[in-house]
Amino acid sequence: MNIIILLLSLLSPYFNAPPTQSEPIPVVSLAKQPSIVLAFQQDLSSTSNAYISSFDSLADVSLYATKEELIQAKGKPLNIVNELWEDCLEYQYADMSAGVSNGIVIYVHVTPIQAQQYGLQLSGVEIDPGKGKLSELLGAPDFIAEDGDVYMRGRTALKIYRNLVTGEWDGIDLFDGSSS
């Protein structure tokens, strides 16, 4: 019996307490969380900008641009040839070539001579594959093929072709990685 009395005396504040209204959540606890999240996001953004995060264009030509957009950006091509491997037309310019299929740019190609004469930009960032500092801009290759290195950003691929004998770069392609 003593145990029951002791138990009831311990629980009596809960039985005698008037009904409480739902207490609002303290504003202080809500204010602390966003500042922690924002600090964490700032740390992430400073490290994620170390590499080129997406491959949108090469030599100022956007992948998936329309034929009209290509001509508007680059002007009349020097030559248009049938590209048998990709079943498309290759629009050849002094500084690059672009494969156009069904009115859409499906690849962009630049040779070392074109890059040397005209410069080379990848998604608006100046690059020079000949200087060997691409890892600072691109990170490690996602795939190392016999003929070059492949970097992926989403479904877009950038391949830097290498001479099998000398190891020097022979060309660079921007293309849809899911199509190859």
What's the pLDDT band for 51 if we cut at 50, 70, 90? confident
Place of tokens 């200087």: 131
Q: In what order do the strands lie in the sheet with 97-101?
A: 79-83, 88-92, 97-101, 104-110, 169-176, 156-162, 148-153, 143-145
Measured between its terminal Cα atoms, the distance across the chain in Å is 83
On whether residue 52 sits in a domain, the answer given is no
On whether residue 5 sits in a domain, the answer given is no
In b/e form, how buried is each residue of 127-152, taking b as 16+ CB within 10 angstroms?
bebeeeebeebbeebeeeeeebbbbe
Question: Is the per-residue pLDDT at 77 higher than 90?
Answer: yes
On whether residue 7 sits in a domain, the answer given is no
On whether residue 40 sits in a domain, the answer given is no
Q: Please report, for the domain that includes residue 77, its CATH number.
A: 3.40.33.10
On whether residue 3 sits in a domain, the answer given is no
pLDDT for residue 5: 64
pLDDT for residue 150: 95
pLDDT tens, 81-106? 998 877 899 999 999 999 999 999 99
On whether residue 104 sits in a domain, the answer given is yes
pLDDT tens, 118-149? 999 999 999 988 887 788 889 999 999 999 99
Q: Are 63 and 156 in contact (CB under 8 A)?
A: yes
The rounded Cα 31 to chain-centroid distance in angstroms is 33
d(CA 56, CA 109): 14
On whether residue 109 sits in a domain, the answer given is yes
Domain count, the chain: 1
